[in-house]
Amino acid sequence: MADDTATIFVLFGSTGDLAKRMVLPAFFELERAGLLPTHWALVGNGRGHRSDDDFRQHVRDSLDEFDTAPSDDEWEPFAKNLYFAGGGFTADDPGDLLDVIADLTGTLGDDRQLVLYLALPPSVFVDYTEAIGAHDLAKGSRVVYEKPFGTSPKSFEELDEVVHRYFDETQVYRIDHFLGKESTQNLHVLRFANGMVSGVWNREHVEEVQIDIPETLDIDDRAEFYDSTGAFLDMIVTHLFQVAAEVAMEPPLSLSADDLQTARESVIAGFRPIDPDDVVLGQYEGYRDTDGVSDDSATDTFVAMRLWVDTDRWRGVPFVLRTGKELGVSAQQVSLIFRRPDDGPITHLPADGTVLTFDLSGDGAVDLTVTVKEPGPGLHLTLGHTEMDLDAIADGLSPYSRLILDTLHGDRSLFTRPDGLSHVWHVAAPVLDNPPTPQPYARGSMGPGAADRLPGPPGWILTGADATKG
């Protein structure tokens, strides 16, 4: 471990859905892997009052549901470091949190590191940040904000101003778990470490880039949050724009935190504001019947769009993005579709004859599709595939575990910066100001049929197996 500083980790929203699905299992994964500091404490915070033992039982229930259930031998040393501070946390009333932090500081020492994690809806980020400042918890601490960092250009600016009123930028960790994926990081490692890839990573050779993140899941128990957000804000403005930046960025001077962030944020400045005509929104049939969703909701549960990157490397190459709920397949993949040769003895080549695909799920995989001769008499063309499963190389940490570990170590290379986020909101503004009307689509389909006009001649590389059009 690079840093063994005693750490108090405060988890705001510790009994919420995000904490139980992602953050708590990630923290236990780090403990199981021996990657937490020797001396640490996790303090859950919430409005209600509950004992430490009650909170420990909540954590264990979460691990049983969303993680490999811990054995008693694993659980007991982990559980003794869990605490709860109830009574809420506002600028006027800190509840029990300050007392719990003071008690733990007395045990761990004054030089302990304080990490504040806001696993909360973005609508309360400003209030909690103001409370952190009011109770003098910002000095020397690190703060983690879940996405989205704001819900509009105006709310981003307001939140960014409040955050920098209390924190230096080096203290701020804006989490996007797609950047924590081993497979997302392999996008730039495989590109920059392999000449045969880096040499063709440009508009001269690439005809189109597809970033495709469909989900078979519904909105589960996130109805209230999702209906106020939708697919465009929940996925495009956050995850998919960051993945697009990973693909499109110029080679950084190094893979250090500052250089990697600078390369990623610099290329975002080349994203062209989105033309609403390049966007198709959808809403799956039956969405409005969900508890917590209004009967006349116009929230998008599907979005497909073209993004243009106005840099010398990518000018004129469409980046085609798609994501949505209740679709025919779950996948996370980036595909580079290469241009067919302009001349040569072989004609009538398939439009999808050369495709390099990165599977971002799990530890990932890389698939190369090429045009080959079909065995047998005559010259008949077919597609051949070769795949490298990165799971077979080594087991990696889950994205949340990796990003929490980086926070504990003070490594900001996989976190977003305000300059890039500011331009993201500028890019998204035309759609936010004038959103297309969501089109209905059948559950289990691949979204509205109108989305098929967005890719070039190959169509969508990911077809959804048995999925039908909406």
Closest CA to 42 of 86, 85, 16, 11: 11
Write down the pLDDT at residue 271. Answer: 96
- One domain for residues 100 and 41: yes
Provide the percentage of residues in the chain whose pLDDT is more than 90. Answer: 58
Q: Domain with 80 in it: what CATH number?
A: 3.40.50.720
Write down the pLDDT at residue 239. Answer: 87
- One domain for residues 289 and 384: yes
- One domain for residues 162 and 299: no
Its pTM stands at: 0.84
Label residue 363 by pLDDT band (50, 70, 90).
Answer: low
Is the residue at 413 inside a domain?
no
Kindly state the tokens that stand for 30: 């780090």
Q: Say which range, 116-130, 282-296, 347-361, 443-457, has the weakest mean pLDDT.
A: 347-361
Report which residue type is found at 454: L
Residue identified by tokens 């798609």 is 322
Is the residue at 470 inside a domain?
no
- One domain for residues 186 and 330: yes
Q: Taking a C-beta distance cutoff of 8 angstroms, is the pair 105, 8 a contact?
A: yes
Write down which residue in 127, 146, 174 finishes a domain.
Answer: 174
The 8-class DSSP code of residue 309 comes to B
Q: What distance in Å separates the CA atoms of residue 210 and residue 403, rounded to the nearest whole number?
A: 26
- One domain for residues 158 and 196: no
Residues 259-269: tens digit of each pLDDT: 888 888 899 99
Helix (H, G, I), strand (E, B) or coil at 334: strand
Helix (H, G, I), strand (E, B) or coil at 294: coil
Mean pLDDT (whole number) for 257-282: 91
Residues 41-62: tens digit of each pLDDT: 999 999 889 999 999 999 999 9
- One domain for residues 200 and 274: yes
Q: What distance in Å separates the CA atoms of residue 295 and residue 155, rounded to the nearest whole number?
A: 27
Q: State how many domains the chain has.
A: 2
Kindly state the tokens that stand for 280: 């198709």
Label residue 108 by pLDDT band (50, 70, 90).
Answer: very high
Write down which residue in 143, 174, 205 finishes a domain.
Answer: 174
Tell me what the pLDDT averaged over the chain comes to: 88
- One domain for residues 72 and 186: no
Is the residue at 197 inside a domain?
yes
- One domain for residues 144 and 201: no
Kindly state the tokens that stand for 135: 């109770």
Is the residue at 273 inside a domain?
yes
Label residue 463 by pLDDT band (50, 70, 90).
Answer: confident
Residues 310-321: tens digit of each pLDDT: 999 999 999 999
148: containing domain:
7-174
Is the residue at 227 inside a domain?
yes
- One domain for residues 206 and 314: yes
Is the residue at 459 inside a domain?
no
Q: Catalytic residue at 239?
A: yes
Q: What distance in Å separates the CA atoms of residue 452 and residue 459, rounded to the nearest whole number?
A: 7
- One domain for residues 429 and 382: yes
Mean pLDDT (whole number) for 122-139: 95
Residue identified by tokens 């601490």 is 141
Q: Domain with 189 in it: what CATH number?
A: 3.30.360.10
| Size of the chain, expressed as the number of residues it contains | 470
Write down the pLDDT at residue 391. Answer: 60
Write down the pLDDT at residue 195. Answer: 86
Mean pLDDT (whole number) for 81-107: 96
Is residue 2 predicted with pLDDT exceeding 70? no
Write down the pLDDT at residue 466. Answer: 45
Q: In which region does residue 378 sit, left (phi positive, over 0), alpha (psi from -120 to 50) or beta (all else)?
A: left
**Beta strand pairing status for 365-373 and 381-389?**
antiparallel
Is the residue at 403 inside a domain?
no
Q: Which residues are annotated as a binding site for NADP(+)?
A: 13-20, 47, 147
Q: Taking a C-beta distance cutoff of 8 angstroms, is the pair 444, 306 a contact?
A: no
Q: Say which range, 63-72, 159-168, 375-384, 433-442, has the weakest mean pLDDT.
A: 375-384
Is residue 394 predicted with pLDDT exceeding 70? no
- One domain for residues 158 and 215: no
Catalytic residue among 49, 135, 205, 239: 239
Write down the pLDDT at residue 1. Answer: 40
Write down which residue in 137, 156, 174 finishes a domain.
Answer: 174
Q: Which residues are annotated as a binding site?
A: 13-20, 47, 147, 177, 181, 215, 234, 325
- One domain for residues 305 and 334: yes
Q: Say which range, 81-90, 201-210, 352-361, 383-392, has the weakest mean pLDDT.
A: 383-392
In degrees, rounded to 5, the angle at the alpha carbon of residue 367 between the alpha carbons of residues 317 and 355 is: 30
Mean pLDDT (whole number) for 271-295: 94
Is the residue at 414 inside a domain?
no
